[in-house]
Structure 1
């Protein structure tokens, strides 16, 4: 790949910030517990902003704005630590130790990535590589940024955030505000940092300052997880016209457009329904077998009182939808969409806090935890009948401008993941890229294109 690391630097908040222990909620402890990444590609700025490492205007601008945005977003400058040296719970130490920014030079050109969404194997070099096994957890920055400069003059910004601290909505809130600050505009929406409304069970905070001399604070328990076999992604490109066609089919009931008062099915519901059906066909599952779909639902507006939209933390809950394979294949697409829609509407105040109560009774939450999509570590398998669908449709949009123009592409660096994982990512002009980690790849693509 011809990648050369020019520098690695720690960036601390530009002003003193609140310090202390911030207990994490149970929702922070489940799902991805390593870093999740996002990539932003930019063409060559109109101004020659870099000549060498000592005259890198873009790098210096990012460092300066990062130090300022870490003032209101100070949890990202902290570190994680195990409670009492055990493996049961983690807390966030707000200690202003800072984020890391890495400057990298590449011999590649942006054109080498082609259509971007099918170049996943190259993406892993453009996001920070984090050593979870060889580094104690209290020494791992929660935010790591990699600036990669290509020979064509373009660049990429790879942003890795600890998923223990933020979910996707919070991550993009931070990225948007950081970009706004970098291009010289004031912050628009401050993060809401009070997690007490979703607070985890009481912990003995006096134990969190203990220093450990052994390997107790490493993420070595990943070695004991029986993770699913990792697969490379299969990409299916859905144009805006194809998505509209799916919506027309899904919203047509028995050959007639629905006349009831229910809303039309969303892009997520129709795309996920189509993917679920096609996966079952590609796997050649029998009609009497049961298959499950796991989806994540944003709980911010579903609890009482509602969480602020700027709630900074993890506020998603998992919903499981099950059906017989025969029903998925033989019934109209509207049946699958309705099943997903009805399950999502059940996520209310009682559901969310009931989910929290169940988690609080568990001594260890490792069975609910898995890792990021870079294939370094494995997570729990979904089985050969089920899929896990993660959507970025409501999280992101093209247009993150750090001051040198809007990006030409952004998205997660899909490399490897467990069999059954699905990523739904917005692309240009209303089109969508579906990345599916699946063994029978050819048959799946064939079924997906039958729209």
Structure 2
């Protein structure tokens, strides 16, 4: 577990500037898909990437290199330099205006080594490393991307980016960052040309719902103890590391038929969900949900082309009574995780797009729901601006609903998965105790 770091350091920021495409780009309107355009993606997705210093890059300024490459990359990704507007029925449309994205240059009086494991979410001074430029935090009529590059005294740097989630998912974000990195290292164009083609993930005509979508059902009669209200002032953040020993211990708790076929993601997700539910001390009959974000790129039955950078995921949910999850062995939770993932099909996605149109693009369930998304295989580690090895690429924090799994090598040299959690203080203590029981 990573506890809040006592480290204190100063970040000095330059005035924000607008970076526009280096060459003129088309002035047009582009509609978002019906997977892009849902209430649950109308927020800013913050990600931080930590890079070590590289002696071969001595004398080069990462902020200058990235800013220049960004302007070139926006020629290809020109919709990201536009602004969102709403059409009829709140349909989101990109006005490709070429107005640009926000860029902030900064310095911090600390080395990456001094930060150590403190780079795990929530990173200290994260608000300073990704400063909220006034007027940029909205969804409509605001810059769609904000980037801050903070130089460190060791020659390394931190790239923090905030993306309007309606424009791209994590895979699309990594594709965009990879393009910037390739251009920063001398390429004339991205190796993977970006494709818009949002009509591929747009509702049928006429739309028809053919599958259950539990992740969007409204919670009814929640039996929530008042002391567990998820108020913002009551929440704390901590990260938990699952290395080879922890994963092995969890796998040994499964029955033989699950032990060899269950993935690392399924094991960790089942463990975290079970421990979280136990720690919440819910009414035994409370209906709880688990939603697993599932990318559809490259899967059978889906025709999402290489280069598509829009949102191409769903997070099907499974249900359980709290008592069943807490009292049953880990294998029960693993079976449910596998069931959630198995729901994803081409028909499920078509039904989901139609559901969005017919139901007014609702918010996902915010009751006793836990949403997990696996960022460990998205490819952050392949994004290279010329400085080489990435130490960590991950969303800046969890929310009380969502946990992001990220790849990480700790200070002991152990490779594993880090899972940030956001829970009320007393619940976090119980969660840690339950987790220690399961992974000891």
With the shorter chain as reference, the TM-score category is: 0.7 to 0.9
C-alpha spacing 1:358/1:182, structure 2 compared with 1 (3 Å): same
Q: Aligned residue for 1:212?
A: none
Assess if the C-alpha contact under 8 Å between 2:149 and 2:158 holds in 1: yes
Assess if the C-alpha contact under 8 Å between 1:20 and 1:94 holds in 2: yes
- Rounded Cα–Cα distance in structure 2 between residues aligned with 1:258 and 1:330: 20
1:21 equivalenced with 2:2 (yes/no): no
1:312 equivalenced with 2:312 (yes/no): no
Q: Aligned residue for 1:373?
A: none
Q: Aligned residue for 1:258?
A: 257
Assess if the C-alpha contact under 8 Å between 2:69 and 2:183 holds in 1: yes
C-alpha spacing 1:120/1:404, structure 2 compared with 1 (3 Å): closer
Q: Which whole-Å deviations, capped at 9, do the CAs of 1:400-434 have from their partners, x for residues lacking one?
A: 321122222222211x63x3432222112531111
1:445 equivalenced with 2:440 (yes/no): no
Assess if the C-alpha contact under 8 Å between 1:83 and 1:90 holds in 2: yes
Aligned-residue offset at 1:390: 2.4
Assess if the C-alpha contact under 8 Å between 1:302 and 1:349 holds in 2: no
Assess if the C-alpha contact under 8 Å between 1:23 and 1:199 holds in 2: no
- Rounded Cα–Cα distance in structure 1 between residues aligned with 2:387 and 2:195: 29
- Rounded Cα–Cα distance in structure 2 between residues aligned with 1:408 and 1:136: 30
- Structure 1: 5+ residue runs without aligned partners? 51-55, 203-226, 370-379
- Rounded Cα–Cα distance in structure 2 between residues aligned with 1:62 and 1:109: 20
C-alpha spacing 1:420/1:360, structure 2 compared with 1 (3 Å): closer
Q: Which whole-Å deviations, capped at 9, do the CAs of 1:79-105 have from their partners, x for residues lacking one?
A: 111226x7x222111222222211112
- Rounded Cα–Cα distance in structure 1 between residues aligned with 2:331 and 2:56: 52
Q: Aligned residue for 2:363?
A: 368
Give the one of 32, 35, 43 matched to 1:34. 43
Q: Which whole-Å deviations, capped at 9, do the CAs of 1:211-256 have from their partners, x for residues lacking one?
A: xxxxxxxxxxxxxxxx963322122111122113323433xx2xxx
Give the one of 89, 104, 107 matched to 1:105. 107
> What SS does the corresponding residue of 1:232 show, helix, strand or coil?
strand
Aligned residue pair count: 396
Aligned-residue offset at 1:201: 8.4
> What SS does the corresponding residue of 1:360 show, helix, strand or coil?
helix
Q: Aligned residue for 1:221?
A: none
Q: Which whole-Å deviations, capped at 9, do the CAs of 1:180-239 have from their partners, x for residues lacking one?
A: 22122463212221111113689xxxxxxxxxxxxxxxxxxxxxxxx9633221221111
Correspondences of 1:201-350 after superposition (within 5 Å): 229-230=231-232, 231-250=235-254, 253=255, 257-258=256-257, 264-301=261-298, 304-350=301-347
Assess if the C-alpha contact under 8 Å between 2:62 and 2:157 holds in 1: no
1:126 equivalenced with 2:109 (yes/no): no
TM-score by length of 2: 0.81
